[in-house]
Amino acid sequence: MKRLFLIFHGRFPSEKAASLFAAKSCEAFAKKGVDVILLVPRRFGRFSGSPYDYYKLERNFKIVFLPVVDLFFLPFSSKFSFYVSFLSFSVSSFFYLMFRLDKNSIVYSNESLPLLFASFLSSNTFYEMHDFPESKLSLFGVFLGRIRWILVHNRWKMERLKDLFNVNHKKLLYEPNAVEIDEFNIRLTKAEARAKLKILQDKKIVLYTGHLYSWKGVDNLIAAAEFLDKDILIYLVGGTEKDIEKTKKQVSENKNIVVVGNRPHSEIPCWQKSADVLVLPNTAKEKISKYYTSPMKLFEYMASGTPIVASDLPSIREILNENNAVLVEPDNPAELARGIKKVLGDGAPAEKISKQAFADVQNYTWQKRAERILEFIGRRAEAEKAAERPA
C-alpha cells in the first residue's frame, strides 16, 4: 500500500469527536510512512484557521476540501440539509477518486455512502463502523457485502455483524478508539491546572468533558448534584451552542453546577488535570450508549491520571473494570453520587484506580492503533492472495 484516502463528511475541523478521529487517524497513518489524503467537505462558515494548528497535528498528510451543496445556513429541515450535503459530497469524492486511485490505494472511511460509491472504483475499501443501523438492514447488508475490510469498536458490534449480516469474521478487525497520551498526561499539578484555568482551589471538583447529548447521560450527573455536599462543584465542559444554552437554563438555580461551554481541544487536558473526579455517566436507555459506543473521552480520562466514575454498561466494560474505575448503576443519580463520594472519600482507592487506568491505556494510542490496522490490511491481503493461487 502506497496511498490511503480517508473520507470524512463532517465539519472539519470541529469540536466533535468524529472530526478528531479523522485528524488523528490521518496523522498516525502518515507516521507509518503511508501517503495519506483526507477528503472533507468545503462547508460554509467552517473554521478559517489551519486544521493542523487546531489539533496540533504534524503536517504529514494532505487535506482536500471537496465541493458540496451546503444548505445548513438556510431555515430548512436540518435532516434534509444533511442528506443533500451527504449525497453531493459522496458524488464529489467519487469523481475525485476516479482519477487518482490505483490498484494499491486504500479508501478508508466511517461514511457509508461515499465508501459505497468508491467500491465501484476499487476493491480496497475499509469501513470503520462508528454506529450501528437501526433500520434498512437489508440495504446495509448490501453495502457491507461490497466492503473488503471492516473495523468495529467493540465486541457487541462484532457479534451483531456476524449474526445479522453473516459477515465473514476474517474481514473484521476489533479496534477501540484511542488517545494521544502525551497530550493528556501533562506535567501540571492539580493546583497549577486550577490556577491556569482560574477556578477555585478549595473545592472538590467533579468534571465531565464532551457533548451534552441526552444519551451521554449528563442529565444523570446534574441530578446527582442533589446527593452531593455543597463543597463539591460539578463542571460541564463542552457541547454545542444550542445544548450549552439549554443546560445553563436547566441548572440556573443550582450554584454547584458550572456550565463552562465548549473549549478548545488543546485546553481539555488542563481541565481534566484540575479535577478530583472525571465522570462518564452514559445512559442505558439508548443502544448507542449501552452497546456500541467507544467514547474517545474515556481514553482521554484514562490518560489524564485522574480517577474515573463511570456507568456500568457493556460498552464501557470493554475498557473499564473495578480495577481501573468506579463503576455504578446507570440512570441512577444517587448511585452516581455514591460512586463520586467513594473516590473523594479516600485517596488510596482513587490513586490505585487512576494508576491502573493509566497503565491500561498505554495500548490505546493512535500510533499503535494505526500500526495494528495496517498490519491487519497487509496480513489479510496476503491471505486472500494465497487463497486465490492454484493448489
For residue 24, pLDDT over 80 is answered with yes
Residue 14's pLDDT is what? 87
Looking at residue 251, its amino acid is V
Residue 298's pLDDT is what? 96
State the chain's mean pLDDT as an integer: 92
Q: Which of 180, 181, 162, 183 is nearest to 171 (CA)?
A: 162
**Domain 3-178+365-388 -> CATH class:** alpha beta
Three-class secondary structure of residue 201 per DSSP: coil
**pTM of the predicted structure, to 2 decimals:** 0.91
Cα–Cα distance for residue pair 380/376, rounded to 1 Å: 6
How much is the average pLDDT of 353-361?
96
How much is the average pLDDT of 56-80?
89
DSSP string, 275-327: -SEEEE---SSSHIIIII---HHHHHHHHHT--EEEE--HHHHTT--TTTSEE
**Fold adopted by 181-363:** Rossmann fold (3.40.50)
For residue 151, pLDDT over 90 is answered with yes
Rg (CA), the chain: 22
Residue 267's pLDDT is what? 93
Instruction: Cell numbers for 67, please give them.
Output: 465541493
Residue 373's pLDDT is what? 97
Q: Do 3-178+365-388 and 181-363 agree at the fold level?
A: yes
For residue 390, pLDDT over 80 is answered with no
Q: What burial class does residue 315 get, using C-beta atoms within 10 Å of its C-beta: 0-12 exposed, 13-18 middle, 19+ buried? A: buried
Residue 1's pLDDT is what? 59
Q: Count of CB atoms within 10 A of residue 305's CB?
A: 19
Residue 2's pLDDT is what? 84
Residue 391's pLDDT is what? 63
For residue 369, pLDDT over 90 is answered with yes
Provide the residue ranges of all domains of the chain, joining segments of one domain with +: 3-178+365-388, 181-363
**pLDDT tens, position by position, 89-104:** 999 999 999 999 998 9
Q: What confidence category does residue 59 fall into, taking pLDDT thresholds of 50, 70 and 90? A: very high
Q: What confidence category does residue 389 fall into, taking pLDDT thresholds of 50, 70 and 90? A: confident
For residue 178, pLDDT over 90 is answered with yes
How much is the average pLDDT of 250-256?
89
For residue 341, pLDDT over 90 is answered with yes
Name the percent of the chain lying above pLDDT 90: 73
Phi-psi bin for 305: left (phi > 0), alpha (psi -120 to 50), beta?
left
β-bridge partners, 6: 38, 108
For residue 320, pLDDT over 90 is answered with yes
